[in-house]
Structure 1
Amino acid sequence: MGMSAASAGGIGRGGRGHRRRGRHHGLMSEINVTPMVDVMLVLLIIFMVAAPLLTVGVPIDLPETKAKPMNADTQPIMITIGATGEIHLQETEIPIDELVAKLQAISKTGYDERIFIRGDKATSYGAAMKVMGLIQDAGYKNIGLISLQEQDQ
């Protein structure tokens, strides 16, 4: 009357209590690229929205000329003269008496730094010449004026 453990409760290998597992699947070696594509599309949208905001942020109405665009390798220093005569160095409004000191502080190549002046159509010629005169008197020689290219009609 001795029962063995295998036949008594079905605990052993061939009994009813043994759960048969399904086939063991190997590790999945494929890369799911859907999350990466989603992230890349979100980044693309962010950069498309942010790119126009990276330009000089002082809104002015530039005059138009027939001059050809210049090829520029490095980013020049931008000075903007608004319609009411306010002066912006890059995007920061500054008084005209601080212009030369701030220019000297941010110039990386000294007096060889390229400086572009943007003036609104409504800016007086005298205001633009005053700014250019200050910059030239300080020793800067690469001064240019920015305008829009005229559209053929």
Structure 2
Amino acid sequence: MSADVKSDNQPYDDINVTPMLDLAYVLLVVFIILTTASVQGVKVKSPTTHATSNLAKPQTRAITITADGAVYLDAYPVDMDQLRDTLAQYKAGNPALPVVLKADATAQYDKVMQVLEVAKKLDITEIGLVTKRAQTE
């Protein structure tokens, strides 16, 4: 036998780290996917209803109205002028812009109507209202 050939029973001097790096990369990708998949928004108590529909579409914008009347567009606070300007920009990029309106059950009806008027003036026709499914007995 030659002196530079190792026998099967001799210990290795180095560790193969490739499998550990593969595992680390997989865990990193899973972590990135899970953290970006969480829905951004403002927490409100939605009204309940028995009818349901699927509003999940690509590039959907969420407008949220809290109980105190504050308006948010994709979790950012806006006033009516900012809402109109920002939605107009989104509408220019996507003519069939889908929007969901999520209002607190105790929100003022006037504020909801103001938001719907802004959407109507911008000719946004795909508007969904977010509700909670009522518990069936």
Q: TM-score, normalised by structure 1?
A: 0.68
> Which structure 2 residues correspond to residues 45-56 of structure 1 after superposition, within 5 A?
46-47=31-32, 50-51=35-36, 54-56=38-40
- 2:106 is aligned to 122
How many residues are treated as equivalent by the alignment?
A: 129
Structure 2's unaligned 5+ residue stretches are none
2:126 is the alignment partner of 1:145: no
2:71 is the alignment partner of 1:87: yes
1:74–1:39 Cα change, 3 Å: closer
Which structure is higher in RCO with an 8 Å CA cutoff and minimum separation 6?
Answer: 2
Aligned residues with identical type, % of pairs: 19
| CA–CA separation in structure 2 for the residues paired with 1:138 and 1:22 | 82
| CA–CA separation in structure 1 for the residues paired with 2:2 and 2:41 | 66
Partner of 1:33, secondary structure, is helix
| CA–CA separation in structure 2 for the residues paired with 1:98 and 1:48 | 31
**TM-fit CA distance, 1:42:** 5.0
Write the deviation string for residues 67-115 of structure 1: whole angstroms up to 9, x where unpaired. Answer: 22315342311111111111111121111122211101122222x3111
Structure 1's unaligned 5+ residue stretches are 1-19
2:27 is the alignment partner of 1:41: yes
Residue identity opposite 1:36 in structure 2: D
Two-structure CA RMSD over aligned residues (Å): 3.0
Task: Answer with 1 or 2: which has the greater Rg.
Answer: 1
Q: TM-score, normalised by structure 2?
A: 0.75
